[in-house]
Amino acid sequence: MVRQTPERKGAIEFFDQPLTDEGGIDFEIIEGFFFAYRDFISDPDAILERSGFGRAHHRVVHFVNREPGLTVADLLDTLKITKQSLARVLKQLIDSGYICQLAGPEDRRQRKLYPTRAGRELALALAEPQHQRIKRAFDGMSADDRRAITRFLTGMQNARDANRDERQ
Amino acid sequence: MVRQTPERKGAIEFFDQPLTDEGGIDFEIIEGFFFAYRDFISDPDAILERSGFGRAHHRVVHFVNREPGLTVADLLDTLKITKQSLARVLKQLIDSGYICQLAGPEDRRQRKLYPTRAGRELALALAEPQHQRIKRAFDGMSADDRRAITRFLTGMQNARDANRDERQ
DNA sequence: AAAATTATGTCAATAACGCTGACGTATTTT
DNA sequence: AAAATACGTCAGCGTTATTGACATAATTTT
C-alpha cells in the first residue's frame, strides 16, 4: 500500500494525488459499470419521457411482459420496492392501457398482471435501443467472451432467492 | 419473428406468453445488468445511510478522489447533472469536512476540489464492498475473460468526449 | 477602460420515485 | 367465527433530480 502524504495549505489538509489502486481496488471497473449503466438507461429514458413515464414504469412494463400473469406480490418481490411505491406507477400503466389486471383463477384475491398490445409494443420499443447497445458492445467478441459477460453479470448479483419459482 | 396471438377475455386483449427473444433481443443481459447494478450499488448505500448521505454524495466523493483538483465544471460534465443538483450535495460534503475547495492558481474563478483525509477514507470505505463483489464475480475467470468484461463495460458507454483531458 | 463572457453560487418552484404508517375490503385459511 | 393474506388507498415525508432567474467575481474581448 502506497502511503500518500497529504498536502497542506494553511490549516487544511487535503490529497492532491488521484486514488488509483489503493489496496488493489479496481476503480476502472467500478467507474466503467457506473458509466455503462447510466448510458444504458438513457436510451429508454428518452422514449419514456415522451409518454410521460419514468424508469419505474419501464421496470414494471418490462417484468410484466417477461412474466405475464405475475401477481402484484411477485412484482414487489422482483423490484424490491414497497407496495405504495408500486401502486402509483401501476395505476398509471393500467389507466393508460398498457397493463391489465385479472383476478387469479385459483385465488381470487390475487391480481394477475398482463401486458396489452400497447404494453407489449412499449416493452419492445424500450428494449430495442438497449439491444442495439449490447450488440455493439458484443461486436467482435468470441462466444467465450460473451459467456464470461453473462457470468460476470450473474456473479455481481446477490444470491437470488432459491424459492423464487416455488410460488403456487 | 414468432407471432403470438393475444388472448381475449371479454373486451380486453392481452398477452399471456412471456416476452423471450422477440427480434433477437437478449433480455437475459438486459435483466442481468439491471440486477447486477442494483445490487452493486446497495453495499455503499448501506454505508452512506449511516452518515446521512446518499448516492449523489457517493459519486461526488468518488470522482473528487479519482481526480483531485477537478473543477466544479469538470464534475458537472462527468456526472451529467445540473449545477443546482450538484450544489446542495457538494455543500454538504464541504461542510462535513470530506471535500475542500481551493481557488484555481491560474484562473481564480475556478474552485478546484480536493478530498480531505476523511474524504479519502470515505471513498475507500465505499469502494471496498464493491471491490469485494467484483473480486467474487471475477473468481475463477481467465485474464481473457476479465479483459472481455472491461471491454464490454467500455463498449456499453456512449462515446466519451475526445477533448476530455484537454482542459489545462 | 468598458463590455462581454465565464465559473460559480444561490433562490424558488417542480417532479419522479422511493419511504413509512395506517386503514379498508375481499377472499381464503384455520 | 376468527385470523391471515393479497391488494388498494390515504396522507405525509425525504432524496435527487429538474428548470428558470439572478448575483458575483474574475477573465477575456473589444
> Cα–Cα distance between B103 and B118 in angstroms, integer?
21
Q: Considering the domain boundaries, does residue B163 fall inside one?
A: no
Closest CA to A113 of A130, A80, A89: A89
B75 — alpha (psi -120 to 50), left (phi > 0) or beta?
alpha
Residues spanned by the domain of A65: 27-139
Q: Considering the domain boundaries, does residue A150 fall inside one?
A: no
- Nearest nucleotide to A110, CA against C1' atoms: D6
Which pLDDT tens digit goes with each residue over B114-138? 999 999 999 999 999 999 999 999 9
> Cα–Cα distance between B114 and B98 in angstroms, integer?
9
Best of A157, A160, A165 to mutate (most B CBs within 10 Å, chain B): A157
Contacts 24+ apart (CB under 8 A), A115-121: A115/A61, A115/A64, A115/A65, A115/A68, A115/B14, A115/B15, A115/B19, A116/B6, A116/B12, A116/B13, A116/B14, A116/B15, A117/B6, A117/B13, A117/B15, A119/A61, A119/A64, A119/A65, A119/A93, A119/B15, A120/A65, A120/B6, A120/B15, A120/B19
Residues B131, A24: C-beta atoms closer than 8 Å = yes
* Partners of residue A40 in chain B, C-beta under 8 Å: 33, 156
Question: Is residue A165 over pLDDT 70?
Answer: no
Q: Across the interface, which of A18, A19, A148 has its CB nearest the CB of B141?
A: A148
- Strand D at less than 7 A from CB of A36: no
Average pLDDT of every residue of chain B: 90
Q: Considering the domain boundaries, does residue A157 fall inside one?
A: no
Q: Considering the domain boundaries, does residue A5 fall inside one?
A: no
pLDDT at B5: 61
Question: Is residue A2 over pLDDT 60?
Answer: no
Which pLDDT tens digit goes with each residue over A24-83? 999 999 999 999 999 999 999 999 998 889 999 999 999 999 999 999 999 999 999 999
> Cα–Cα distance between A158 and B120 in angstroms, integer?
27
Task: CATH number of the domain at A42, please.
Answer: 1.10.10.10
**Confidence (pTM):** 0.90
pLDDT at B160: 75
- Judged by a CB distance cut-off of 8 A, whether residue B34 touches chain A is yes
Q: Considering the domain boundaries, does residue A21 fall inside one?
A: no
- The spacing between the Cα labelled CA in A82 and the C1' in D13, in angstroms, equals 15
% of residues, chain B, pLDDT over 90 = 82
Residue linked to cell 448505500: B45
pLDDT at A20: 92
Q: Considering the domain boundaries, does residue A73 fall inside one?
A: yes
Q: Considering the domain boundaries, does residue B87 fall inside one?
A: yes
Outline where chain B has alpha helix (H).
27-51, 55-66, 72-79, 83-95, 117-138, 143-155
Which pLDDT tens digit goes with each residue over B82-120? 999 999 999 999 999 999 999 999 999 999 999 999 999
Q: Work out how many domains chain B is built from and give that number.
A: 1
Which pLDDT tens digit goes with each residue over A93-139? 999 999 999 999 999 999 999 999 999 999 999 999 999 999 999 99
Q: Considering the domain boundaries, does residue A17 fall inside one?
A: no
Q: Name which residue leads in pLDDT, B78 or A12.
A: B78
Which pLDDT tens digit goes with each residue over B62-76? 999 999 999 999 999
